[in-house]
Amino acid sequence: MTEWPLPGSCPACGSGDVHVLAFGMPLPEEVAAAPPWVWFIGCVVDGPEDRHCLRCRNRWVASPA
């Protein structure tokens, strides 16, 4: 089972309405078990960003924990 990081808040607008972007092709059971703040975006991506703010549409790379 994958342990998903908490999404945090947007550095641009401060919103907590943030999703974690997950790269790759997940198995169906991974999709079913993922929390609602995880978005599976596939294998073809245009940058390293792993967070997305739903309020202002900012995308960024979360700082390593």
Boundaries of every domain in the chain: 1-41
pLDDT recorded at residue 1: 60
Tell me the Cα Rg of the chain.
12
CA angle, residues 33, 45, 49, in degrees to nearest 5: 75
pLDDT tens digits along 25-64: 999 999 999 999 999 999 888 889 999 999 999 999 997 6
pLDDT recorded at residue 44: 87
pLDDT recorded at residue 65: 53
Rounded to 5 degrees, φ, ψ at 38 are -100, 125
Provide the whole-model pTM: 0.84
pLDDT recorded at residue 9: 97
pLDDT recorded at residue 53: 98
